Amino acid sequence: MSTLPQHALSTQDPDVYAAIQNEVDRQNDGLEMIASENFVSRAVLEAMGTPLTNKYAEGLPGKRYYGGCEHVDVVEDLARDRAKKLFGADWVNVQPHSGAQANAALYLKALEPGDKLLGLDLAHGGHLTHGSPVNFSGILYEAAFYGVEKDTGRIDMNKVRDKAHEVQPKMISIGASAYPRDFDYEAFRDIADEVDALLWMDMAHTAGLIAAEVMNDPMPYAHVVTTTTHKTLRGPRGGMMLVGNDIENPFGITARKSGRTKMLGEVLDSGVFPGTQGGPLMHVIAAKAVAFGEALQDDFTTYAQQIVDNAQALAEALIERDYNLVSGGTDNHLVLVDLRNKDLTGKQAEQALEAAGITTNKNMVPYDDKSPFVTSGIRLGTPALTTRGFGPDELRRVAALIDRVLADPSNEDVQQAVRSEVQALCDTFPLYDFATV
């Protein structure tokens, strides 16, 4: 068993220390296949655990409301400059604490309560913050949705166009949490222009794949892009906002000040602070800077392509075993499995696989007939396993292990046998060994 460094935590608070150690062991000894999770580098971990957490730095570099910010200014500028280079952006704000916070800042500045929003239905793979009735985005704004076709599992852009002309939204959102295909950003922009709507892309799941140019680039088409900084980007948990072409007064969402019209980025800055947040988390921003620096290296492109190659190998191996995949495969990092032909619920599959050392999440599938607490599917992702060094051969082996468990989901002997094989795979591709710190 690996051990954390014997620093103050182990003696001052052994209960917290033990919980952290148990989580380290869980990550080391299991197959992490939740599509929204990944493993950060040691450098990112180290940046997060620094005394930068002590510093209040409300405002922006060079324009702070507190003294003593000269060093954190350097850190935030590094993060902003690296993100601009990584995504080809004119403007970036790296302060959002999460993707949801970045989205909230955009809503605050782009819409008035009651304005109309058009986004991908959560039940068809969309995201909670894109208008779900249980989220602020669906409570404060009038949300309408487009979905995927029942026979193809893909978005029909003609139907999106029809829906946009019917709804006349002020903002159209793109992006998903469980859509295994790429997006046609040019077509979305054409539709947004036709109805005079702001076009927003939430690339939280695919940011790393977009940065590495293995998926389509939204920056030339979307007016605003938001993202998380973990998932495929492999940074710390946090958010970010970007503008590809920082223009004046788009769609009236900017405000006049001192006789001039603000640029879009300047207005969005105020949506983050003071609009929706107070002081930024400077230790997390330092970790973002480190992660963005890693993503600018050539080996990150290789890594991102491997994520997609692994997901496609996993998809092919599951199809060979008679699993129904939403849309018939994947263009990105995730596979969405409809288990109804296996007479299983997502809840049953998640629990059986976890007992075998394979961590997944139950997930709604399009046109699901079960509740979100049960679901008819599971979502599988490859970013974390790819970080460990898994390739297509290993993902095909993982597919076989998944099938062994789900073929007899209540068989504890099978679960234990698979867990032993999972442990052998994990030992071959080690993750964190804190004993060497």
Catalytic positions: 56, 58, 202, 228, 231, 237
To the question of whether residue 373 is assigned a binding role by annotation, the answer is yes
31 is in an annotated binding site: no
Least Cα distance to 233 among 213, 253, 204, 262 occurs for 204
Would you say 138 and 172 are in contact if contact means Cβ atoms under 8 Å apart?
A: no
- C-beta atoms surrounding 256 within 10 Å: 9
Please indicate if the annotation marks 126 as binding a ligand: yes
User: CB neighbours of 218 closer than 8 A, spacing ≥ 6?
Assistant: 174, 183, 185, 201, 203, 210, 225
122 annotated as ligand-binding: yes
3-state SS, 161-204, equals HHHHHHHCCCEEEECCCCCCCCCCHHHHHHHHHHCCCEEEEECC
**Joined tokens for residue 113:** 């309560």
Q: Cα separation of 90 and 104, whole Å? A: 21
Burial of 8 by CB count in 10 Å (0-12 exposed, 13-18 middle, 19+ buried)? Answer: exposed
Q: Give me the torsion for CA of 189, 195, 200, 205, rounded to 10°.
A: -70
136 contacts: CB under 8 Å, gap ≥ 6: 104, 107, 129
Residue with tokens 């978005």: 155
Number of Cβ atoms within 10 Å of the Cβ of 17 = 18
Binding-site residues for (6S)-5,6,7,8-tetrahydrofolate: 122, 126-128, 371-373
Binding-site residues: 122, 126-128, 371-373
